[in-house]
A and B are shown apart, each in its own frame.
Chain A
Amino acid sequence: MAEIAVRKKLTAVEEIFHEGGPVAATPLRRAIALAVIRNPYAGAYVQDIAGFMDDLKPLGLEMANTLVTALGGDARVVEGYGKGAIVGSKGELEHGALWHVPGGYAMREVLGGAKAIVASTKKVGGPGTRLDVPITHINASYVRSHFDAIEVGLTDAPRADEILLALVMTTGPRIHARVGGLKASEIRGEDGLR
């Protein structure tokens, strides 16, 4: 298994008390973990890239654990998640797709078997590119109160031969969620959807 060359990491936690409405009894917390890695396929078309997904697994686990630690160390507080990637200009969108499996399964493993698909997005971009990482409930994708997104990015990444990888986790619904739909308390939790 090839070692992943990590240039830098960013961890950030947002703690939201209100957004003009009543101050929440428990603030919503949203955490991001970013890693900037060298893209081994930058600059040329490479047909066989799938093996890199296995190489990324340890980094995925490290980032998922970083998020849980940043949120206080108890995985049970996590209710929403998402993932994303920004591929530098000498890479290909498909290189960002390599993050789906290691990023998603790492979070599921750390959270103890979350059922819902991990919402994701990706793009090719230069240093400073911002990515709106979508967020959904970890056990039921249709829980409307947990539809959210976090904007991530780093001023100096990704360089042309790099990929910026992102994992995000949240501890609850939007701070003033009130547009109806399936509630977290109504989850059946069988199919990952409802």
Chain B
Amino acid sequence: MKAKIRKIAVFVEETRTEMGRRVEPPTRRAAAVAVIENPCAGKYVDDLSELMTIGEELGELLTERAVKALGIPGASAESYGKAAAVGEDGELEHAAAVLHPKLGAPVRKVLGKGAALIPSSKKRGGLGVALDIPLGHKDAAFVRSHFDGMEVRINDAPRANEIMVAVAVTDSGRPLPRVGGLTKDQIKGEDGLR
């Protein structure tokens, strides 16, 4: 493995009630986060292909961890998202290199499908920075009940020469969705949008 991983953290959140109303079944979402060394920290590097390869490795590793934490088969996942935070000696473009060219394909392989764009966010920050991972339905981006986000943070990451890379997977949408729009039972799932 090319990625030099310092730590991996996996979070599972389960919401059972909202405003006193029972959420049945409870909504669940998982995020798997890897803290890796940034091989391009501290200098301008033109060719970011090493980070792209790392993204490919982490796409598989983190998605498998998240799905395992939810205890579901990959095909039962409903929404997903990805995010990265680059330590202070790195460049926003490093997060882009990890997230965009190659990370998505292994995510989709683990989940069986994934016609929709994987929503993403990125930032540069210091230790304990909060990552808000955007979430959207994996087969139809317009499913309004699944527009969501999950905040994760690790108090000792990213250090200056590190990158925090996160993949989030859910088995559900928001707890009590009622703002209309496309619903998951209306998905055609061909173009990734509807």
Does B6 touch A at the CB level, under 8 Å?
yes
In the complex, chain A residues 153-184 whose Cβ is within 8 Å of any chain B Cβ: 154-155
In the complex, chain B residues 66-95 whose Cβ is within 8 Å of any chain A Cβ: 69
Query: Which chain A residue lies CB-closest to B161?
Result: A20
| Chain A, interface residues (CB within 8 Å), range | 10 to 19
- C-alpha gap A130/B8 in the complex (Å): 20
Contact with A along B146-186 (1 / 0, CB 8 A): 00000100110000000000000000000000000000000
Contact with A along B1-17 (1 / 0, CB 8 A): 00001111111111111
Given the known A-B contacts A151-B155, A155-B151, are A15 and B17 also in contact in the complex, defined by CB atoms under 8 Å?
Answer: no
5 contacts between A and B (CB under 8 A): A8-B17, A11-B11, A12-B12, A19-B6, A130-B155
B5 touches A12 (CB 8 A): no
Report the minimal beta-carbon distance from B15 to chain A, rounded to whole angstroms. Answer: 4
Does A191 touch B at the CB level, under 8 Å?
no
| Chain B, interface residues (CB within 8 Å), range | 20 to 34
- C-alpha gap A130/B154 in the complex (Å): 11
- C-alpha gap A7/B7 in the complex (Å): 29
Q: How many A-B residue pairs have CB under 8 A?
A: 51
B7 touches A12 (CB 8 A): no
Report the minimal beta-carbon distance from B58 to chain A, rounded to whole angstroms. Answer: 14
A9 touches B9 (CB 8 A): no
- C-alpha gap A44/B152 in the complex (Å): 34
Residues of chain A within 8 A (CB-CB) of B154 are 14
